[in-house]
């Protein structure tokens, strides 16, 4: 590798190794030396099978990334350096080509240690929060909807009785505002229909979202695709998945146009993920959908509360888009999370790919209400 590439990797805080196409370790940065407690001078030039005791999953990840020529994440990679306790790591494998930075063909492998307990606790929190959101929405909407009908009806009667035409303006305001609230409550209680699960190609979902947004924001934003086309189908309700993805992507488009970012860019990215724990259940395979924008980022004062109902950072925003998106995703036993900083916001949907034997459970997706 060129000295520039080496020094770049050596500065990273993330543990990175470089493996060539014969699975021989060609480089290891200091962060990886630390994490794996290995000395680069002892292991570079050796095959990964000789360095790691449990190497099957890592080999499989390398193979997958090479075969599909795109990056791949293994969410719970168990790896042991001969004679030491096993480590639970998240690893991302990215194929590299021979170019002026890398003088070999192979893969870059990044390792991150998972604080297993922390991760599970966070997932449980998200799950509880989404159940609480649903409950809050339902109660709030019912409480408001009933009296609202009465208010609107009374205003209508009053409107007919008014003799002074100047006063109609006021009854009209009451009726219009009641209608607006009524529509908002209906959205809170949506969907009225039961989910209709079927086989879904995630790229069909993303293409629909892409065409809707391109129609809405013709010249203001560009939408790039970065798909892993070898992904399997998932089992779910296509309309709900489109709505969830659209709510997330539309927020990105709104953030970009409102901040006047030029060129505003959204990337729709799909990847395979494995060994994922979602809704307290472990899945061997999952699909990762990332919606990335180069906008200003989630306002820091909103932060994690973006998923709460009625939390909005936009003038005129309902604050329901992400709540609904999260509900739909959790009905698919998935998870919706985000990372945001000025210049890059990434929302990630993780959706499990059910084994054949598990499909029965998914067929009975619970209704929202």
Ligand X SMILES: Nc1ncnc2c1ncn2[C@@H]1O[C@H](COP(=O)(O)OP(=O)(O)O)[C@@H](O)[C@H]1O
Q: Point out which residues bind ligand X (CB under 6 A).
A: 247, 251-252, 255, 293, 295, 297-299, 302, 306, 311-314, 317-323, 345
Counting beta carbons within 10 angstroms of the beta carbon of residue 261, is it exposed (0 to 12), middle (13 to 18) or buried (19 or more)? middle
Report the nearest approach of ligand X to the CB of residue 161 (Å). Answer: 37
- Report what 299 binds from ligand X, Mg ion, none; CB cut-off 5-8 Å by kind: ligand X
Q: Are 247 and 212 in contact (CB under 8 A)?
A: no
Q: Are 111 and 11 in contact (CB under 8 A)?
A: no
Contacts of residue 80, Cβ cutoff 8 Å, sequence gap at least 6: 52, 53, 54, 86, 87
- 3-state DSSP call for residue 315? coil
Neighbours of 308 (CB within 10 A): 18
Closest CB to ligand X among residues 306, 354:
306
φ/ψ bin of 154: left (φ > 0), alpha (ψ from -120 to 50), beta (otherwise): alpha
Counting beta carbons within 10 angstroms of the beta carbon of residue 239, is it exposed (0 to 12), middle (13 to 18) or buried (19 or more)? middle
Cα–Cα distance between 91 and 36 in angstroms, integer? 13
Report the nearest approach of Mg ion to the CB of residue 89 (Å). Answer: 35
Q: Are 234 and 352 in contact (CB under 8 A)?
A: yes
Report the nearest approach of ligand X to the CB of residue 299 (Å). Answer: 5
Closest CB to ligand X among residues 153, 299:
299
Report the nearest approach of ligand X to the CB of residue 336 (Å). Answer: 11
Closest CB to Mg ion among residues 97, 258:
258
Q: Are 265 and 228 in contact (CB under 8 A)?
A: no
- Judged by the rule CB under 5 A, the positions of this chain that interact with Mg ion are 251, 321
Report the nearest approach of Mg ion to the CB of residue 246 (Å). Answer: 9
| Residue sitting closest to Mg ion (CB) | 321
Closest CB to ligand X among residues 70, 242:
242
The alpha carbon of 245 is separated from its chain's Cα centroid by a whole number of angstroms, namely: 9
- Report what 293 binds from ligand X, Mg ion, none; CB cut-off 5-8 Å by kind: ligand X
Calculate the alpha carbon distances from 36 to 15, 39, 305, 338 in Å.
9, 9, 37, 29
Tokens 């899945």 map to which residue? Answer: 283
φ/ψ bin of 70: left (φ > 0), alpha (ψ from -120 to 50), beta (otherwise): beta
Report the nearest approach of ligand X to the CB of residue 293 (Å). Answer: 5
Counting beta carbons within 10 angstroms of the beta carbon of residue 228, is it exposed (0 to 12), middle (13 to 18) or buried (19 or more)? buried
In the chain, beta strands by DSSP E: 15-20, 25-28, 72-79, 87-96, 106-113, 198-200, 221-226, 234-236, 264-278, 281-293, 335-341, 344-353
Tokens 């993303």 map to which residue? Answer: 206
| Structure tokens given for 114 | 């998972």
Report the nearest approach of ligand X to the CB of residue 242 (Å). Answer: 15
Report the nearest approach of Mg ion to the CB of residue 216 (Å). Answer: 13
Report the nearest approach of ligand X to the CB of residue 298 (Å). Answer: 4
């Amino acid at each position: 590798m060129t000295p520039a590439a080496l020094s770049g990797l050596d500065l990273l805080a993330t543990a990175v190794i470089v493996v060539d196409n014969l699975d021989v370790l060609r480089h290891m940065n200091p962060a990886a030396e630390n994490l794996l407690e290995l000395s680069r001078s002892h292991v570079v030039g050796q095959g990964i099978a000789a360095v790691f005791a449990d190497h099957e999953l890592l080999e499989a990840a390398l193979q997958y990334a090479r075969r599909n020529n795109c990056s791949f994440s293994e969410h719970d990679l168990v790896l042991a350096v001969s004679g030491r306790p096993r480590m639970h790591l998240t690893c991302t494998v990215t194929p590299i080509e021979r170019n002026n930075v890398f003088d070999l063909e192979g893969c870059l492998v990044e390792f991150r240690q998972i604080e297993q307990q922390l991760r599970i606790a966070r997932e449980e929190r998200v799950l509880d929060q989404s159940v609480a959101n649903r409950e809050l929405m339902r109660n709030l909407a019912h409480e408001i909807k009933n009296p609202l009908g009465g208010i609107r009806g009374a205003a209508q009667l009053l409107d007919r009785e008014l003799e002074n035409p100047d006063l109609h303006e006021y009854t009209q305001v009451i009726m219009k505002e009641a209608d607006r609230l009524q529509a908002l409550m209906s959205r809170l209680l949506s969907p009225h229909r039961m989910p209709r699960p079927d086989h879904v190609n995630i790229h069909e979902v993303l293409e629909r979202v892409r065409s809707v947004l391109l129609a809405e924001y013709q010249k203001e934003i560009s939408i790039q695709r970065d798909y892993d086309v070898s992904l399997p189908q998932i089992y779910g309700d296509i309309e709900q998945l489109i709505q969830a993805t659209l709510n997330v992507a539309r927020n990105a488009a709104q953030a970009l146009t409102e901040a006047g970012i030029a060129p505003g860019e959204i990337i729709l990215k799909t990847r395979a993920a494995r060994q994922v724990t979602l809704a307290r259940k472990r899945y061997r395979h999952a699909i990762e959908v990332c919606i990335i924008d180069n906008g200003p980022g989630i306002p820091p004062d909103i932060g994690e509360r973006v998923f709460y109902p009625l939390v909005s950072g936009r003038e005129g925003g309902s604050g329901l888009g992400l709540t609904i998106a999260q509900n739909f995703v959790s009905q698919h036993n998935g998870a919706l999370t985000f990372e945001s900083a000025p210049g890059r916001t990434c929302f990630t949907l993780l959706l499990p790919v059910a084994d054949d034997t598990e499909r029965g459970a998914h067929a009975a997706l619970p209704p929202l209400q």
